[in-house]
C-alpha cells in the first residue's frame, strides 16, 4: 500500500492564499517612492558621516540645512511607511 504522492498535497497558488490580491498600480508606485526616500535618507547619512571624517573639508551647506534635510527625509519616510502599512492591511 503506497502513501499519497506529493502532487496530491500541492495546491495551485491562487488556492493557497485565497485572500492574497494583486497590488494596484498606485500602491506599487507608492512603494517605489518610499524606497527612493529611504535611499535618499541613507545617502544623506553616509554623506554627513563621510564629510565629518575628512579633515579640512567643510560642509557644502550649513549645518542647519543638513538638519532640516534629515528631518524632512525622516518625516517623509515615516509618513509613507505608515500609509503603505494602512493600505496593505485593507
pLDDT less than 70: residues of the chain = 1-21
Distance CA 23, CA 32 (A): 13
Q: Where are the domains of the chain?
A: 24-88
pLDDT attached to residue 83: 95
pTM (predicted TM-score): 0.69
pLDDT attached to residue 52: 82
pLDDT attached to residue 10: 62
pLDDT attached to residue 90: 74
pLDDT attached to residue 48: 85
pLDDT attached to residue 6: 60
Distance CA 59, CA 49 (A): 11
pLDDT attached to residue 75: 97
Amino acid at each position: 500500500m503506497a502513501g499519497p504522492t506529493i502532487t496530491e498535497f500541492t495546491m495551485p497558488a491562487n488556492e493557497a492564499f485565497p485572500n492574497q490580491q494583486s497590488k494596484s498600480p498606485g500602491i506599487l508606485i507608492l512603494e517605489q517612492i518610499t524606497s527612493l526616500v529611504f535611499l535618499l535618507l541613507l545617502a544623506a547619512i553616509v554623506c554627513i558621516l563621510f564629510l565629518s571624517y575628512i579633515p579640512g573639508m567643510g560642509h557644502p551647506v550649513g549645518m542647519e540645512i543638513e538638519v532640516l534635510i534629515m528631518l524632512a527625509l525622516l518625516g517623509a519616510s515615516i509618513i509613507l511607511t505608515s500609509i503603505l502599512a494602512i493600505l496593505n492591511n485593507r
